[in-house]
Chains A and B, each alone.
Chain A
Amino acid sequence: MSELEPTGPPEESEPPSGQTPSVAASMALKQRAGGLIVPVLTAVIAFVIGGLVVLATGHNPLLAYRDIFNGAGLNWIFHPTTNVASTAAYNLSQTLLQTTTLILCGLAVAFAFRCGMFNIGGQGQYFIGLYTANWLGYEFQGMKPLPHILIAVIGATLAGAAWAGIAGVLKATVGAHEVISTIMLNWIAIWVGEWLFGDGGPLQNAANPTVPISNDVANSAQLPVFWGQKELQGLHVGFFVALGALVVFSLILNRTTLGYEVRAVGFNPEAAAYGGINVRKNLVRAMAISGAFAGLAGALDMLGYLYHFGQSDIPASSVGFLGIAVALLGRNTAVGVGLASLLFGALLFGTTHGLQSGVSSIDPELAGNLTYIIQGLVVLFVGADILILSVWNARKKVRLRGGRTAEAAA
């Protein structure tokens, strides 16, 4: 909010040490400081604290985590099979389904971060992509599958880009803080959905006028499923699209002029402007690309396995917000986002539908909320790398001291 308006005391009066380092700069700092250690340690600490909550409320955390691990289908690695009749394989396919969405939502947040912006509006952009894909997938009945899918996917991606672009344009032209504008755009997207699928809304199911649910996407627009059965939410080809997006993300940032400019603006907009980079243009571009990733996530979900969406599904969805945790834990790099998506994908499925109610040692309702707690802790700790690093350094010091005393004894 500090940059809404260039008023108040001149910036120069504030010594640099008192200023917030830009998000990208602090991320770069972490990159140098901790390597892999900080994110891994962050996740471990978050899981340990989550476990303490479980323990304090009278459940066995180890059993709970084991059940979540199995619920997510990660035990598949002990007896791999492609036959989805096996529970582990089925659960794993569902985890990867969530991972697909999270990769793209994570990239949406990460790309904006690399340009020094915090795109908190991934959820809204995801919704806009979802709505657009539903609309385009239902219209144009009877098209050939490939063009229909392309139209729906591209349309939804562009819609997501445009939605995020609003925040980018507001930032570039009048300096409106992207956090506030994306929060507002999230809620506008939520209410747009309520209106679209609600009573008398334009996308509301034509066959059942009283049910606040959208139409089903036409068969021709549904993505092919390559693992499992379509009727049982098999894993669709969008998974490869998401993996491809990781590569594209990395290529854009590291191998193109656009990526260079985006990163330059992220590190220091002043210096970038001095170097002849058009900062405004890059802010809008970065935000639009960021929204495109989220819009694509919405499209793949809609065409891949949801096929329809209702009013009641809107408040239940939180993948766009999970994208924040994914991007932060993955340190805004392609590999990191991929791994963090797998972790949160596993948590998301393993704590809800993957858990067998009554059989598992922790109720799915508790476990589902445990995901939020772990997610919150991860975001909290990633934001405070000083703490994590000091924990790590303390460990090293202890070891060092231990080593010295051992030497002295010898």
Chain B
Amino acid sequence: MTTSGWTDRIDNPMTAKLRDPATAGYTGLLLAAFAAFLAIPPIEARSIVWSILVGLIAAFLGVWTASRGRVRLGIGAVVAGLVGMGLGILATHSGTTNLEAVFNSSLIAQMFAFSTPLVFGAIAGMFSERSGVINIGLEGMMLMGAFWGVYGADKGGNWVVGIFVGALSGALLATLYAYFAIHLRANQIVGGTAVNFLALGITGYFFFQLYHGNYVSQGVSTIPNVKIPFLADTHFLGPAIGDLNLMIWAGFVLVIVSYIVLFKTPIGLRIRACGEHPRAADTVGINVFTIRYGAVILSGILAALGGVYLSDGFGGGTFNDNMTEGRGFIALAAMIFGNWRPFGAFGAALLFGLSSAVALRLQVYSSSASTLFNVLPYVLTLIAVGGVIGRTVPPAADGRPYSKQ
């Protein structure tokens, strides 16, 4: 849609400074220091919650800064935020038994476990949007993967079958969406919303039809963990990364591969060209429809893989109605937060995963505090798209159907 005229920003020096990524980075550093000092006089916060919250926000600002050009400053802010959080927690001297329940090396493993569906979803969304097709339907594609993945693992007797069946279900739904969004030039947000409803209905219907709404039968072949022999028994690293699920490692690889594909290969250049200026891409002989179809279907496959991990890896071979519970939308948020870049999206997904993991563990303190951390991803994304700090730059032709002339 149009951007000139009424949407022109009030670009006075004050707001311009606020939008500079460096401002976010330095704010992050300041907040990190604040997190460390929260627990000592004169503020003396009694609960560890505030230190964690402020430290996490500092880390988020760091990811924000790093994905918008100031990489070193950003990473500095992330590290400072995490260190500040740790120092703040140490200074509260709060009940050590509870503290150990919240903070131990398995928190890191849990962070990866929570963030992996988001990593897959965010990278999925990135491919689609980089080619110029908004994908609000990530949630639905993930849900399809979650159900059909566990179905495949159950009926096929092997988790590998589950991964293929799950990916296929995501691809099919994505193809349907692509046909409406690309060929019929339907409004992409309406189409994506429809995809989410459809997936909710299809998975719920077949879950009842095939399993009568009960947990999937016992003994389903689940995606295995990767036990690293020399690491698994180490004191700290063992529980942290010595025994992670295969899909978590696949997620790491995916981020690196998608970075290389998107920015270092001709295919990536074509995808980006279709997202920034489809007319120009068409002129030099790129088939915009083919590229967009490919990107959307790839997006469906990746989002579905995130779902397969959720049900057949993380969930241990179970499914329940609406299992994704908005994870597709958090993935979308991570992608926006990471500025449509692989490593930015990865960083945001990790931090969103960390805040979920902390939320779960903070229930030993209070459920109110736990809620505070659950809501963090959404609030931060709202602030981010509000452009209060820094800037978010989507692909120029994102959401515009293309018609050949």
Interface residue? A245 (CB, 8 A): no
Looking at A198-206, A246-254, A255-263, the stretch in contact with chain B turns out to be A198-206
Find out whether the CB atom of B399 lies under 8 angstroms from the CB atom of A20: yes
Offer 13 A-B interface pairs, CB within 8 angstroms, sorted by A: A2-B1, A3-B3, A174-B387, A175-B7, A179-B136, A185-B382, A270-B5, A273-B6, A365-B208, A372-B205, A380-B176, A380-B186, A383-B186
Interface residue? B187 (CB, 8 A): yes
Contact with B along A257-298 (1 / 0, CB 8 A): 000000000000110010000011000000000000000000
Closest chain-A Cβ to B5's Cβ sits at a distance in Å of 5
Interface residues of A (CB under 8 A from B): 1-9, 11, 13-15, 17-20, 22-23, 26, 53, 57, 116, 118, 120, 166, 170, 174-177, 179-181, 183-185, 187-188, 190-192, 194-195, 198-201, 269-270, 273, 279-280, 315, 321, 324-325, 328, 363, 365-366, 368-380, 382-384, 386-387
CB contact list, B136-172 vs A, under 8 A: 136
Interface residue? B394 (CB, 8 A): yes
Find out whether the CB atom of B379 lies under 8 angstroms from the CB atom of A372: no
CA distance A280 to B333 in the complex (A): 25
Find out whether the CB atom of A200 lies under 8 angstroms from the CB atom of B198: no
Instruction: For B378, list chain A residues within 8 Å (CB).
Output: 184-185, 187-188, 191
Interface residue? B277 (CB, 8 A): yes
Q: How large is the interface on B (under 10, 10 to 19, 20 to 34, 35 or more residues)?
A: 35 or more
Please judge, given known A-B contacts A26-B187, A270-B2, whether A181 and B385 are in contact too, CB under 8 Å.
Answer: yes
Contact with A along B348-392 (1 / 0, CB 8 A): 000000000000000000111001101100110110011110011
Instruction: For A325, list chain B residues within 8 Å (CB).
Output: 197
Instruction: For A191, list chain B residues within 8 Å (CB).
Output: 371, 374-375, 378
Other CB < 8 Å A-B pairs besides A328-B190, A383-B191, 14 of them? A2-B398, A18-B400, A23-B190, A118-B190, A175-B3, A176-B385, A180-B332, A200-B368, A270-B5, A363-B208, A366-B209, A373-B205, A376-B198, A376-B200
Find out whether the CB atom of B129 lies under 8 angstroms from the CB atom of A384: no
Closest chain-B Cβ to A118's Cβ sits at a distance in Å of 5
When C-beta atoms are compared, the residue in chain A nearest to B129 turns out to be A1
CA distance A333 to B237 in the complex (A): 61
Of B4, B194, B387, the residue contacting A383 (CB under 8 A) is B194
Find out whether the CB atom of B399 lies under 8 angstroms from the CB atom of A2: yes
Closest chain-B Cβ to A184's Cβ sits at a distance in Å of 4
Find out whether the CB atom of B187 lies under 8 angstroms from the CB atom of A20: yes
Interface residue? B30 (CB, 8 A): no
Of A270, A372, A380, the residue contacting B200 (CB under 8 A) is A372
CA distance A377 to B211 in the complex (A): 24
Find out whether the CB atom of B392 lies under 8 angstroms from the CB atom of A4: yes
Find out whether the CB atom of A200 lies under 8 angstroms from the CB atom of B276: no
